[in-house]
Structure 1
Amino acid sequence: MTIVDRLRPLLREPLVYFLLAGALLFLLIGRGGDNEPADRNIIVGDAEIARISANWERTWQRPPTRAELDRLIDDFVREEILYREALRLGLDEDDTVIRRRLRSKMEFLARAEVESVSPDDATLQEWLDDNAARYAEGARTSFEQVYIGAGGDDGEELAQLRAGADSASVGEPLSVPRSLERASRTDIARQFGEQFAASLDPLEVGGWQGPVPSGFGRHLVRITAREPGEPARLSEIRQRVENDWRTATLDDRQEDAYRALRESYTVEIAGEE
């Protein structure tokens, strides 16, 4: 049997063509500058082995056996080798999925960095002062609300209410009270959600205002009375204030971090001067 006869069955396999094409591409792009010795060293240290073992234990609720751990380490080495070779071949370039995954990872790291920042007392006190109504002890709010749906134009309904229309004849039905009397912030949040409760804080007592968002959609609201309650002390609710501050300022702080990175790049866009 000739060599050609022996190779003929292999040549029918698509995988063979894939490997040959990869090898050809590998040669074409050149390996001279990328073939540093350090790139060929894979060190699986104690920390990496501990991480591999911990991942297994989280899934299976027990540590891996010696044989299982050996297979896990072999799989890690295989993945690392193929990952490095893929980078050498430039397979990560112009791949939208990979770019988005890497962007997501960077945003996750940036978010973790931002969330690790600890605000000082002055920052939290300023936040508490600006949102005093949210934390006041014993504060009560009385209001009426009209549900106007998730979207669309709210101008007509608002004009009707301001002109004196009966609130019961305006808006859409919803399975929450049309009005609450002397309701605490907790009571309001329980019925309409925290977003709605927080949006009532800056509204003035008197006429119809809105739209005010909730988990249901949008509402027009008239505050009929307020009882301010006792101002809260930062020392008593510091963790709650810090949690709220983190949630409310996270997007802004992430954007600040991105802008700091952006300033280190020169970006040229075709068609723009």
Structure 2
Amino acid sequence: MDMKHAFLKEPLLHFLFLGGLIFLADALLASDRKEQIFVDQSSIDYLVKQQERLSLRTYSDEDIEQLIAAYIEDEILYREAYKRGLNQGDTRMRRNMILKLRGLMIAKVKEPSEAQLKDFYQNNLERYTGPEQFQVDHVYFKDESSVSTGLLDELNQGADFRSLSESYFQTYGQSSINSPRSELASLFGEQASRYIVETDSDHWMGPFSSAQGIHFVKRSGITPPKVAAFEQVAPYLPMDWQAAEARKLIDAELDSVRENYSIVVERTQ
């Protein structure tokens, strides 16, 4: 018997060979055992529509990718929180479980020094830049029956708009207000808000309908964004710094468990 045939008859070789096959099969089938996170086009459309309505702008492909990534991140955190039993005694389960897991990360972060806070402020000035403010003159009616014929012409000819408007609790009785873009839709409805943001005109426009009633609006000015001084935001910096540090821990946690999930994003557009 030559050495080759003797070697092939060794039981240890058979055992190792069989073990190798099992290991290979296990590796090939591992992806099938991963939990699947499936994001289809209808889900993406819903997320985008919801955010565009709030932000009063059209989302770019990059914005949409970030929105999908945030959704996937939350889904992973939710499932990991469930595995750790953070759902016990929780009636608002999904959101609270995600918040609990994030809270566990934040609890690991130590108090920052003043030097760290100053560095954080300088490196994140965009966080502490107030949004542009839109100055809006506003005439409001509860319904169309209260709107007189030719009102728009009267307003553009200089009629006292303050005496024409009905009481509107959302502006606290003010007919001229300053508002960031993010609050315009809740005050004036989507149609009027888009006009306020996009117009180059200083004329009155309307009527615009919203769930609250009828609106006539005129954009009277815009205050550009302004960076707050360090002293103004100092009380909030420790919390922001800790949140940023917790973000690093969350990213590390996500990296360590993400391989346990099979993520499928199905975009048809």
Larger relative CO (CA 8 A, sep 6+): 1 or 2? 2
Q: Same fold (TM over 0.5)?
A: no
- Rg larger in structure: 1
TM-score (norm 1): 0.32
